[in-house]
A and B are shown apart, each in its own frame.
Chain A
Amino acid sequence: MAEHDDQEAKRRQRMRSIAIGLALAGLVLLFYVATLVRLGGNVLNRPL
């Protein structure tokens, strides 16, 4: 019974970790897209 609980706890923790990972990846994408949209063509304007 305790072993089953332990397995279930680990499974749930893994799922929560995956969900947090996906949320963080989504946040990175959000900032990336917003940067492109806000800068527009200027995103390529990098004078040396």
Chain B
Amino acid sequence: MSDVTVPYTRKSLTEAPGGTVGDFIALMKPRVMSLVVFTALVGLVVAPGDLHPALAVIALICIAVGAGASGALNMWYDADIDVRMARTAGRPIPRGSVTPEEAFSFGMVLSIGSVVTLGVLVNWVAGALLALTIAFYIVIYTMWLKRSTPQNIVIGGAAGAFPPMIGWAAVTGGVSIESILMFAIIFMWTPPHFWALALFRTGDYERAGVPMLPVVAGEKETRRQIVIYSALLVPLGVVPAVIGLGGAAYGIIATVLGAIFLGLALSLWRAEEEAKRIEIAKRLFAFSILYLFGLFAVLLVERLAAGFMS
């Protein structure tokens, strides 16, 4: 955040009205938070063992607040580039509703609070994983990789992949092959998801000076990399059915959704015309969300159904 230029920095209470409660909620990126909570919930439910429902709810609240804290710290650090991108120019700091200092304090209080609460009330393995997630997202991704390498989201994607592991650890108190597999699925899913977005938002990233793959290596290379990561992701998405984490329904749905995912990635690779490419990239971006949501939803439903039947 070396050269943050935001519309104003509020010096006194009366100089500007300050942020509303809604502005502070917006700092927590509620939409990202909802996907984090959902994948963490799946990790909690599919994990073997018993966790009192009240403690499960507390774990989910802590994970949600930790994710929100990461969002606020990310907006604090990225205020200078957010102001230059159409997608992010309306965020509370570029808009001038919240000062960077307020966002930083807000993010730090929530980060420490969520980690300590999760550690004390649930267990310290889950607490440590939440701390690692926040630190990874802010220090490794936001401060370091995002502005320095086109592979930013490949490694940075790990931050978004931790929540089901935290949910799993909240129940079991540890890490296992199943939770690492859920991590790996989200990790492999992140590059094609964000590169599809970057393909139709290239101008934004270029203006902000963020070295996203289409800006640095060109859209053709981006489409090639999307196919490679999709080809790795799709079989990985089926593995939970092989190791018994998911059942037959999971296996079938993961195969069908995976085939559509790969089909879209291949048609994006083959699309010659620019308008067509943008249209397919938008479809792939939207479908990628459905894909990940679908896989985790089936895992959840299968486990809940098995619970009702036994």
Number of A-B contacts (CB under 8 A): 46
Task: Decide if the interface of chain A is mainly helix, strand, loop or mixed.
Answer: helix
A window 24-48: CB within 8 A of B: 27, 30-31, 33-34, 37-38
Q: Which of B1-9, B50-58, B178-186, B201-209 contacts A (4 or more CB under 8 A)?
A: B50-58
Identity of the chain B residue whose Cβ is nearest the Cβ of A2 in the assembled complex: B14
Choose from B17, B52, B61, B117 the contact partner of A12 (Cβ within 8 Å).
Answer: B17
User: With a CB–CB cut-off of 8 A, which chain B residues contact A12?
Assistant: 17-20
User: With a CB–CB cut-off of 8 A, which chain A residues contact B112?
Assistant: none
B window 34-68: CB within 8 A of A: 52, 54-55, 58, 61
A31 touching B121 by the CB < 8 A rule?
yes
B24 touching A34 by the CB < 8 A rule?
no
Choose from B14, B17, B54 the contact partner of A37 (Cβ within 8 Å).
Answer: B54
In the complex, per-residue mask of B83-94: 1 if CB is within 8 Å of any chain A CB, else 0: 000000000000
User: With a CB–CB cut-off of 8 A, which chain A residues contact B55?
Assistant: 34, 37-38
In the complex, per-residue mask of A5-17: 1 if CB is within 8 Å of any chain B CB, else 0: 1101111110110
B18 touching A9 by the CB < 8 A rule?
yes
User: With a CB–CB cut-off of 8 A, which chain B residues contact A9?
Assistant: 13-14, 16-18
B16 touching A34 by the CB < 8 A rule?
no
A33 touching B58 by the CB < 8 A rule?
yes
Q: Which residue numbers of B lie inside 8 Å of A, CB to CB? A: 13-14, 16-21, 24, 52, 54-55, 58, 61, 113, 117, 121
Q: Which residue numbers of A lie inside 8 Å of B, CB to CB? A: 2, 5-6, 8-13, 15-16, 19, 27, 30-31, 33-34, 37-38
Taking A5-B14, A13-B18, A16-B24 as known contacts, 8 extra A-B pairs with beta carbons closer than 8 A to each other, sorted by chain A number, are A9-B13, A9-B18, A15-B21, A19-B21, A30-B58, A30-B121, A33-B54, A34-B55
Query: What 6 pairs between A and B have smallest CB-CB spacing?
Result: A8-B17, A34-B121, A9-B17, A19-B21, A37-B52, A37-B54
Please list 28 pairs of residues, one from A and one from B, whose beta carbons are closer than 8 Å in the complex, sorted by A's number: A2-B14, A5-B14, A6-B14, A8-B17, A9-B13, A9-B16, A9-B17, A9-B18, A10-B13, A12-B18, A12-B19, A15-B20, A15-B21, A16-B19, A16-B20, A16-B21, A19-B24, A27-B113, A30-B58, A30-B61, A30-B117, A30-B121, A31-B121, A33-B58, A34-B54, A34-B55, A34-B121, A38-B121
